[in-house]
């Protein structure tokens, strides 16, 4: 099947406006005749469900958590971008569009990214109107800060809890619709299959996680907003429940899966503490506004630190290597995430890592200069032009506390170190997945009537997301894109009537799910689900992680296939199907992670270039920077399922054309 | 500094098959727990041991493990989220315990939070309170006025944010001898009462949310303050006072 992106014609700055003007509508009196299913209630899902409910459609929303307010969007810390230019520092829709295309390493669709930049300003208006308490300055205006990969201050924030406030905002809108009876909410439910009738998405099979009951739900359109798949690595910054199941199930039914190898490795995570670790914790990128990243200049100092013989504060200024400021003077500590991550890995691989465990990985994120600078600034602002050192430090710490207090607390809780006194230790970790279900300009997958939003789709951002843009995309999709494009699709459904669930298609899908569940419960193997998940994660991090090469990827593909065979033969899942069974939930998710992991390795193997989050070691320049191959790889790689053996999946290429932005090497120097 | 120590502990955990059956405390021994592990990682370790012995794992709620989603719960040695101050269970680390300790782990105790299984309780009553009015009725169109058109004093925005930082975990209810939800509801009412965007509906909002809170079977506030002490996000009792004030004004309007 050919990939038709359905990008409208016309000038980029008019495309979305003109397109919207010509999309079909569903009249208000017809909307109550139409059912829509939304799977996942994070930023994208909750905003979509609330918006469509508001419009008058019957919406059924599903989440596996006990409440939509728990979705992992809540954990995003730093902020959300919008081209408001409130700071008068030269920001504009075009500049946000440009930065995002460049930050995506020229592997995103121009039209989608421009639309994102256009609606970004509306998102802030919408959220403020909902009562989202963004940070404000003393004049009562919204405050901004900057984020990686940009030279303007366009990031709106609420302390280090921006995701929380945006999600609670979307949740409050969703709650209003639930209260009004226009959205039916199904908490603690997991979608385990999609149902197609005559080729169109017509419903889902969901498992009630408390009773184990398999439920049939029909609809005229299905929206998947189930988040990303970073947990394929076992250790990631994702919530424990984040999974790929909904997205993978639609892939198995005909939705292409695009660019699975694009994984964002976030540079500022707390390093791994030991073998029982269940997940990794991110420290917001916004900290790079104030923190300076360094390792010791001398190897013997790094060794002494690792051996516990020296403290970071013992290392003199001249003996510190601020490697990001050294290599990238223009952007310094604010280079994009992939650049910062690789630079940290390079220093640690060269023997300068500072963590005193067997990984030896970790670099410092140091706030001491900022404490002094801001302390002085505050003292001066208070009219004290000759502050003592103690006063400066006290005021500086107060300034840091106001800006990042919760992050500092969280760091201390996890590591037992006080980051006001000693530098934080950080290391890159898997954070955000930029691949996902392939969608066209309408956010429709290759299954008609099945739309995919937020992190679950293959993203508007390409190979490397810049900071503060994931929140932007989730809300843009849910509030401002899907209400138009889903309505256009539904305009042909007003005469369809309610879709019955007692049909052969629903029977078959339910039987399929039941078969899989029974298979696990009767397998009677010897090993736990986590045993396999950890093994998969190990293969993925070592061979499909921050640096990939042909040999490692080839090995990974074979190792994952072998792991899959072992998993189905030897996994043990206790309990029964008709109760809350957390091991069963995990088994169903890990089954999909294994398949996806293999596809990620295959995708990484075919992409013989380095771009953004995808770093093929064979393709780098003399200074270790990525070497893109625009001639051969300026495409979206979309995979088509061909049955159980992932090696049989077929790659389709959607060519990426750049008409408005001149494609160039990405340079942050 | 990280301690890198291993300890052996005894766990006394509430096991309850489902909402209809009676529960009881079971005893488990767990060795080699790293003090760098979080409390939930310790439970993961226990569950690996149980499943390895072909026993059923302990069901408990958790998700983000970053202290923000509010899904983790647990009464640990009689305290909501355990002994550490201002942290969720996922951010409680085993360095808070000593070698040889016996640790009691129970679900939230409140009539309005019925047990689903083991340590998992149903907190959907919180959702229903929010659905009764915890929002600003704004259409999701993006055609609202410019975000900077209505200035908000920094002080008000900061107070609203502090109230909005509530994660809805339910520790306040579980810690309260009356099973009162007033810290949670007070935080929600306060957030919108402090911002100009929420003003128009303020009267209806507080009346509806308080009515729903009562219908869900939560108790009343007697100003004991246990909720504030045990709240992992440090939500202040001031919010309850503000809610009472809002409620009073709304009632006499």
Q: CB B131 to CB A176 under 8 A?
A: yes
Q: CB A137 to CB B154 under 8 A?
A: yes
User: Which band of pLDDT confidence, cut at 50, 70 and 90, is reported for residue A282?
Assistant: confident
Q: Which residues of B touch A583 (CB under 8 A)?
A: 51, 57
Helices (H), B132-235: 154-164, 171-175, 182-193, 202-215, 226-230
Which residue in the set B142, B165, B195 is minimally distant from A125, CB to CB? B142
Establish if B144 touches chain A: CB-CB under 8 angstroms. yes
Residues of chain A numbered 54-93 and touching chain B (CB < 8 Å) = 54, 65-72, 74-75, 84, 86
Which residue in the set B136, B161, B198 is minimally distant from A159, CB to CB? B161
Of the two residues A422 and B143, the one the predictor is more confident about is A422
Which residue in the set B59, B126, B142 is minimally distant from A479, CB to CB? B142
What tens digit of pLDDT does each residue of A82-105 get? 999 999 999 999 999 999 999 899
Q: How far is A62 from chain B (nearest CA, A)?
A: 14
Q: Is the pLDDT of residue A472 over 80?
A: yes
In three-state secondary structure terms, A506 is helix
* The pLDDT of residue A625: 84
What is the Cα–Cα distance from A491 to A473, expressed in whole angstroms? 25
Q: Is the pLDDT of residue B1 over 50?
A: no
Q: CB A126 to CB B197 under 8 A?
A: no
What tens digit of pLDDT does each residue of A581-594 get? 999 999 999 999 99
A 10 A CB-CB count for B109 gives 17
Single pTM value for the model: 0.95
* The pLDDT of residue B4: 63
What tens digit of pLDDT does each residue of A625-638 get? 889 999 999 999 99
Mean pLDDT of chain B, nearest integer:
95
What tens digit of pLDDT does each residue of B47-90 get? 999 999 999 999 999 999 999 999 999 999 999 999 999 999 99
* The pLDDT of residue A459: 85
For residues A532 and A588, is the Cβ–Cβ distance under 8 A?
no
Candidates A212, A126, A630; CA nearest to B138 is A126
Q: Are strands A650-655 and A635-640 parallel, antiparallel or unpaired?
A: antiparallel
Q: How far is B147 from chain A (nearest CA, A)?
A: 4
What is the Cα–Cα distance from B180 to A397, expressed in whole angstroms? 37
Interface test with B, best of A311, A413, A583 (most B CBs within 10 A): A413
Tally C-beta pairs within 8 A across A and B.
Answer: 233
Give the CA radius of gyration of chain A. 25
Q: What is the DSSP letter of B232?
A: T
Which residue in the set A138, A239, A410 is minimally distant from B69, CB to CB? A239
Burial class (CB in 10 A: 0-12, 13-18, 19+), A329: exposed
What is the Cα–Cα distance from A573 to A299, expressed in whole angstroms? 48
Q: How far is B178 from chain A (nearest CA, A)?
A: 24
Share above pLDDT 90 across residues of chain B, in percent, rounded to a whole number: 94
Q: Which residues of B touch A54 (CB under 8 A)?
A: 139-140
Establish if A421 touches chain B: CB-CB under 8 angstroms. no
Q: Which residue of A has its CA nearest to B115?
A: A210
* The pLDDT of residue A1: 58
Q: Which residues of B touch A133 (CB under 8 A)?
A: 157-158, 160-161, 164, 191, 195
User: Which band of pLDDT confidence, cut at 50, 70 and 90, is reported for residue B2?
Assistant: very low
Q: What's the whole-number mean pLDDT along residues B146-167? A: 96
Which residue in the set B48, B157, B192 is minimally distant from A136, CB to CB? B157
Establish if B157 touches chain A: CB-CB under 8 angstroms. yes
């Amino acid at each position: 099947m050919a990939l038709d992106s359905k990008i409208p014609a016309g000038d980029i700055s008019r495309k979305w406006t003109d397109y919207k003007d010509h999309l079909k509508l569903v009249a208000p009196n017809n909307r109550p005749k139409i059912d829509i299913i939304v799977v996942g209630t994070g930023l994208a899902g909750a905003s979509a469900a609330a918006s469509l409910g508001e419009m008058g459609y019957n919406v059924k929303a599903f989440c596996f958590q006990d409440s939509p307010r728990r979705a992992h969007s809540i954990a995003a810390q730093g902020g959300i971008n919008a081209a408001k230019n409130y700071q008068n520092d030269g920001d504009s829709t075009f500049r946000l569009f440009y930065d995002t295309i460049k930050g995506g390493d020229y592997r995103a669709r121009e039209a989608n990214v421009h639309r994102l930049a256009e609606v970004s300003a509306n998102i802030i208006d919408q959220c403020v109107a909902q009562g989202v308490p963004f940070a404000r300055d003393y004049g009562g205006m919204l405050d901004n800060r900057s984020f990686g990969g940009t030279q303007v201050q366009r990031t709106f924030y609420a302390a280090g809890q921006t995701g929380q406030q945006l999600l609670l905002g979307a949740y409050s809108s969703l709650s209003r619709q639930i209260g009004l009876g226009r959205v039916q909410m199904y908490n603690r439910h997991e979608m385990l299959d999609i149902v197609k009738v005559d080729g169109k998405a017509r419903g889902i099979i969901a498992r009630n996680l408390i009773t184990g009951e398999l439920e049939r739900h029909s609809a005229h359109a299905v929206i998947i907003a189930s988040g990303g798949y970073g947990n394929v690595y076992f250790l990631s910054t994702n919530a424990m429940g984040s999974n790929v199941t909904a997205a993978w199930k639609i892939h198995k039914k005909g939705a292409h899966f695009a660019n699975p190898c694009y994984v964002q490795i976030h540079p500022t995570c707390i390093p791994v503490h030991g073998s029982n670790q269940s997940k990794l914790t991110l420290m917001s990128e916004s900290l790079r506004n104030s923190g300076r990243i360094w390792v010791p200049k001398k190897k013997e100092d790094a060794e002494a630190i690792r051996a516990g013989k020296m403290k970071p504060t013992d290392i003199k200024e001249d003996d510190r290597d601020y490697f990001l400021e050294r290599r990238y003077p223009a952007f310094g500590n604010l280079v994009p995430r992939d650049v910062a991550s690789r630079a940290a890995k390079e220093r640690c691989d060269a023997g300068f890592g500072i963590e005193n465990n067997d990984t030896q990985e970790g670099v410092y994120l140091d706030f001491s200069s900022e404490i002094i600078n801001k302390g002085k600034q505050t003292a001066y602002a208070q009219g004290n032009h000759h502050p003592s050192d103690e006063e400066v430090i006290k005021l500086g710490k107060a300034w840091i506390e106001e800006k990042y207090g919760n992050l500092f607390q969280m760091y201390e809780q996890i590591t037992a170190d006080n980051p006001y006194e000693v530098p934080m230790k950080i290391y890159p970790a898997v954070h955000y997945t930029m691949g996902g279900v392939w969608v066209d300009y309408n956010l429709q997958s290759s299954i008609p009537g099945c739309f995919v939003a937020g992190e679950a789709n293959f993203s508007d951002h390409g190979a490397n997301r810049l900071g503060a843009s994931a929140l932007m995309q989730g809300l843009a999709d849910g509030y401002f894109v899907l209400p138009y494009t889903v309505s256009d699709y539904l305009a042909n459904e007003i005469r369809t009537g309610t879709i019955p669930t007692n049909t052969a298609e629903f029977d078959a899908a339910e039987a399929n799910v039941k078969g899989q569940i029974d298979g696990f419960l009767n397998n009677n193997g010897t090993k736990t689900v986590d045993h396999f998940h950890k093994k998969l994660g190990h293969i993925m991090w070592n061979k499909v992680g921050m640096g990939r090469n042909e040999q490692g990827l080839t090995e990974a593909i074979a190792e994952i296939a072998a792991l899959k065979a072992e998993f189905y033969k030897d996994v043990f899942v206790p309990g029964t199907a008709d109760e809350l069974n957390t091991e069963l939930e995990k088994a169903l998710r890990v089954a999909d992670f294994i398949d996806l992991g293999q596809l990620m390795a295959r995708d990484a193997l075919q992409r013989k270039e380095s771009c953004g989050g995808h770093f093929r070691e064979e393709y780098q320049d003399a200074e270790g920077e990525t070497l893109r191959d625009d001639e051969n790889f300026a495409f979206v790689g979309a995979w088509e399922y061909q049955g159980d053996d992932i090696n049989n999946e077929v790659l389709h290429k959607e060519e990426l054309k750049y008409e408005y932005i001149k494609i160039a090497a990405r340079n942050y120097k | 500094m990280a301690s890198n120590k291993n300890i052996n502990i005894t766990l006394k955990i509430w096991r309850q098959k489902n909402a209809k059956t009676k529960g009881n405390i079971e005893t488990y021994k767990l060795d080699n727990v790293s003090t760098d592990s979080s409390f939930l990682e310790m439970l993961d370790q226990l569950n690996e041991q149980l499943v390895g012995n072909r026993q059923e794992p302990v069901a408990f709620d958790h998700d983000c493990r970053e202290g923000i989603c509010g899904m983790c719960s647990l009464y640990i040695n009689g305290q909501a989220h355990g002994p550490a101050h201002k942290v969720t269970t996922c951010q409680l680390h085993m360095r808070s315990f000593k070698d040889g300790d016996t640790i009691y782990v129970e679900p939230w105790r409140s009539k309005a939070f019925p047990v689903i299984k083991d340590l998992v309780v149903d907190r959907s009553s919180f959702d229903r309170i929010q659905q009764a009015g915890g929002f600003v009725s704004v259409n999701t169109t993006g055609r609202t006025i410019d975000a900077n058109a209505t200035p908000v004093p920094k002080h008000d925005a900061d107070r609203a944010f502090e109230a909005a930082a509530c994660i809805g975990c339910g520790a306040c209810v579980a810690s309260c001898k009356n099973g009162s939800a007033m810290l949670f509801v007070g935080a929600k009412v306060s957030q919108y009462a402090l911002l100009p965007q929420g003003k128009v509906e303020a009267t209806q909002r507080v009346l509806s949310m308080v009515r729903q809170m009562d219908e869900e079977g939560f108790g009343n506030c007697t100003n004991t303050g246990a909720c504030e002490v045990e709240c992992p996000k440090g939500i202040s009792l001031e919010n309850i006072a503000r809610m009472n004030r809002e409620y009073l004004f709304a009632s006499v309007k």
